Amino acid sequence: MTTREPTPLDRLFLNHLDDVGELILVRHGQQEWPDPENSVSGDWVDPPLSDLGRRQAAAVGQYLADTKIDAVYSSALSRAHDTGKAIADHHNLEPIVRLDLREIQFYGELPDDKRASDILGTDVVRATGNRFIQERRWDVYPATESSLSFRRRIALEIEAAIADRVGQTVVIACHGGVINIYLAELLGMTADMFFRPAHASVHRLSFGHDRRIVTSLGEVAHLVGELHTI
């Protein structure tokens, strides 16, 4: 079998090269949603997987079972960690927890035992949501981590996870906002959220020593019927 010399396009997109790794970003399964009428801000930070979410986590674990995976990382939040564990168990691995892979927290600088509307007012909360629809930037939310800070935090954590793993396959179980912000930074996009990943969906990148290439977004073939939720 003849091995051809890589072309400039091959080198640009990391095709037919040695020492190329694969980064697999997985959104967590569906979480238990707190009751909006009888909950405070803290209730929304770390809800567990729902029954459906556990089935979604099992499905993505099975989907990746035949992939040779060298490491699994996860957010410390239970919905991401438990999804990561459902993947790691097929490979005799344990998820490596990285605290800064956590999701952005709306109004995270406000007291956990209050609702944002109690402090800022219902009109402000409604107007903020409307602004986010238009601008797609976390900066519109008061008392919330800035877009720049979130981008820097997530880029640093993901790059640290893959820095010494060129040539390996790395899974990171995390959150929809995390997946968006990392891809937006790579692609030079100003929007912090440009698509809505399904629960337990799979997103792949190739990575070399100095290049990251998006190869697929939104794999959901393993999620059929009720398992496909956003």
| CATH code for the domain in which residue 190 is found | 3.40.50.1240
Catalytic residue among 22, 81, 103, 203: 103
Token pair, residue 47, equals 């809800």
Per-residue pLDDT band for 36 (boundaries 50, 70, 90) equals confident
pTM reported for the whole predicted model: 0.95
Q: How far is 135 from 215, CA to CA, in rounded Å?
A: 27
Q: How far is 149 from 173, CA to CA, in rounded Å?
A: 21
Asked, for residue 25, whether it belongs to a domain, the answer is yes
The tally of domains found in the chain comes to 1
Q: How far is 201 from 105, CA to CA, in rounded Å?
A: 21
Asked, for residue 188, whether it belongs to a domain, the answer is yes
Asked, for residue 140, whether it belongs to a domain, the answer is no
Q: How far is 119 from 113, CA to CA, in rounded Å?
A: 11
Q: What is the pLDDT of residue 2?
A: 56
Q: What is the pLDDT of residue 141?
A: 96
Asked, for residue 114, whether it belongs to a domain, the answer is no
Q: Range of 171's domain?
A: 18-37+48-102+146-227
Asked, for residue 74, whether it belongs to a domain, the answer is yes
Q: Is 103 a catalytic residue?
A: yes
Catalytic residue among 28, 81, 203, 222: 28
Q: Is 226 a catalytic residue?
A: no
Asked, for residue 158, whether it belongs to a domain, the answer is yes
Per-residue pLDDT band for 63 (boundaries 50, 70, 90) equals very high
pLDDT one-digit tens code per residue, 172-183 = 999 999 999 999
171: closest CA among 22, 49, 62, 58?
22
Contacts of 172 (CB under 8 A, 6+ apart): 23, 24, 25, 26, 72, 73, 74, 84, 101, 158, 161
Cβ contact 200:223 at 8 Å: yes
Per-residue pLDDT band for 41 (boundaries 50, 70, 90) equals confident
Cβ contact 201:220 at 8 Å: yes
Asked, for residue 115, whether it belongs to a domain, the answer is no
Asked, for residue 220, whether it belongs to a domain, the answer is yes
